Structure 1
Amino acid sequence: MEDRKLRIAAVGDELLAGLGDPRALGWLGRVLARTPQDGMTVESFSLPCPQEGTEGLAARWLEEAGRRFADNHENRLVIGLSGRDIEFGLSTARSRLNLANILDSATQRRLEVFVVGPPPTLDPVQNRRLGELNTAFADVTTRRKHLYVDTFSPLLNHEQWRQDLAANGGSPGQAGYGLMAWLVLHRGWFQWLGMDSPE
């Protein structure tokens, strides 16, 4: 039997790039390093854009990700969401609509999408808004039968996460990205790829 061939295009902001990670892997690099390739070839293309919200993401994802897809591969899309929309003054309704448009367009192209929600910050006021955004993003994604990983809720009061942010100027470092990767790996990544979870 011929090996499966997967192409993964990943879009998001600087968290997708692993900014601030001394190992330069970020959460995506850690996840891919733990993804077995027995019987399949996984090609991943990371396409981060610093300080990007959902409007920028909606405007660019198809042109950039589409150039990485191939007719003879199973093409998949990973979206790493951030809380930038709060800084940009977007309403939760507008953020929902932007993500919905991306997912609807991906669905029309028969792309399976894996969405990773925004993680919490150290700012309680921003976290209240982030909690609303996270709930909205999760609802939009699951209604469209795509997979959503909530990083906000499990990390909100996680001591190691908060310590890592405090030590790195509000951004995750090695420990923080490791926690995000663990959540992705244990909340549907292997299911999404159509493979058994490794022991």
Structure 2
Amino acid sequence: MSDRTDRNDTGGIPAEAPRESYGVGPAYPSSHTQFTSDAPGRYAAAPAADTGSPDAPADAASGSTPTEEPYYAPSAEVTVTDGVRDVGMIFLGASLTAGYGDPKGLGWVGRVVARTQHPDLDLTAYNLGVRGNTSGDVVARWGAECHPRWKGRTERRLVLNVGTNDVISGMTMARSRLNLANVLDEATNAGIGVFVVGLTPTLDDELNRKIEALAEAQADVCSRRGITYVDCYRPLATHDQWMADLAASPDRSHPGQAGYGLIAWLVLHNGWNDWLSLS
């Protein structure tokens, strides 16, 4: 597969030696072995859901100590009706979700929505990406902003992509995990289908080490709940076109057209149609 994205604007991730995935459950169908790694132990699958949770150190941002991650016991399921489905889909996150820096103004969200067209799907999509948002900001605003947009829709879907600003702001791993867990649990208990898009690498090696650790933590939080998590970090960390796109961008932090196409490709090829129950 070519390492270019200008042909179809969704990019392509070149095949690599087989690698074990994060503990991401359904996000990695066996036909996509290029998304796995030989690294031992560190990338082993996460354990099944249990009542335990990682230790929760003091939150550097708030000075408080997060409580343990809640035990997940869903009380509702996503309702998928027969015939044409009236779906309200909300994309929630920060600048990467908003598509900042894309000269086409599409970002990965616009590209994914453009390719999520189906005769049985009456899709209404909303992009609620806000530059600078942390997972704490998302916790604070998701309910008030999302529920009015779902009003009248028979099927509610939520796509989350947040966390890089947690690392930049100095938020602890425990607090970031808990924020994500709280949104996932509140949404799924309300019968909202949730899909999580993982963090992407930067040009800063030190920042990348922290982002990779948080990406693994997010994958674990999702795996414990059976929620699809798409690993964007490792496929892009060694991807020449992704790194070149970052280096060429004005702020050297957000990708351009090619980079957003790569994220869209990863989303569309890692459980998207299964999550939407599309054949």
TM-score range for the pair, normalised by the shorter chain length: over 0.9
Matched residue, 1:64: 145
1:98-137 to 2 correspondences below 5 Å: 98-137=179-218
Matched residue, 1:26: 107
**Distance in 1, Cα, partners of 2:199 & 2:162:** 5
In the alignment, structure 2 segments of 5+ residues that lack a partner are 1-81
**Distance in 1, Cα, partners of 2:264 & 2:153:** 29
Structure 2 residue aligned with 1:15, among 96, 106, 112? 96
Matched residue, 2:262: 179
CA drift of 1:110 comes to: 1.0
Give the % identical residues: 46
Quick check: 1:23–1:174 contact (8 Å CA) kept in 2? Answer: yes
**Distance in 2, Cα, partners of 1:39 & 1:102:** 28
Matched residue, 2:274: 191
SS at match of 2:150: coil
Structure with the largest fraction of strand? 1
Matched residue, 1:148: 229
1:92 and 2:173 correspond: yes
SS at match of 1:98: helix
Letter in 2 for 1:12: G
1:161 and 2:267 correspond: no
CA drift of 1:170 comes to: 2.3
Letter in 2 for 1:129: K
Letter in 1 for 2:267: V
SS at match of 2:123: strand
Question: CA deviation digits over 1:47-94, x for unaligned, max 9?
Answer: 111111111111111110111113442101111123111111111111
SS at match of 1:87: helix
CA drift of 1:32 comes to: 0.8
**Distance in 1, Cα, partners of 2:225 & 2:193:** 10
SS at match of 2:126: strand
Structure 2 residue aligned with 1:75, among 156, 161, 169? 156
Matched residue, 2:134: 53
**Distance in 1, Cα, partners of 2:129 & 2:89:** 13
CA drift of 1:36 comes to: 2.1
Question: Which deviates more, 78-87 or 21-30?
Answer: 78-87
Larger of the two Rg values belongs to structure: 2
Question: Which deviates more, 80-89 or 182-191?
Answer: 80-89
**Distance in 2, Cα, partners of 1:72 & 1:139:** 31
CA drift of 1:147 comes to: 1.0
TM-score computed with the length of structure 2 as normaliser: 0.68
SS at match of 1:79: strand
Quick check: 2:163–2:176 contact (8 Å CA) kept in 1? Answer: no
The total of aligned residue pairs comes to 196
Question: Which deviates more, 68-77 or 93-102?
Answer: 68-77
TM-score computed with the length of structure 1 as normaliser: 0.95
Quick check: 1:10–1:65 contact (8 Å CA) kept in 2? Answer: no
Question: Which deviates more, 63-72 or 73-82?
Answer: 63-72
User: Where has structure 1 moved over 2 Å in runs of 4 or more?
Assistant: none
Question: CA deviation digits over 1:155-179, x for unaligned, max 9?
Answer: 0111000000000022100000000
CA RMSD between the two structures? 1.1
Structure with the largest fraction of helix? 1
SS at match of 1:68: helix
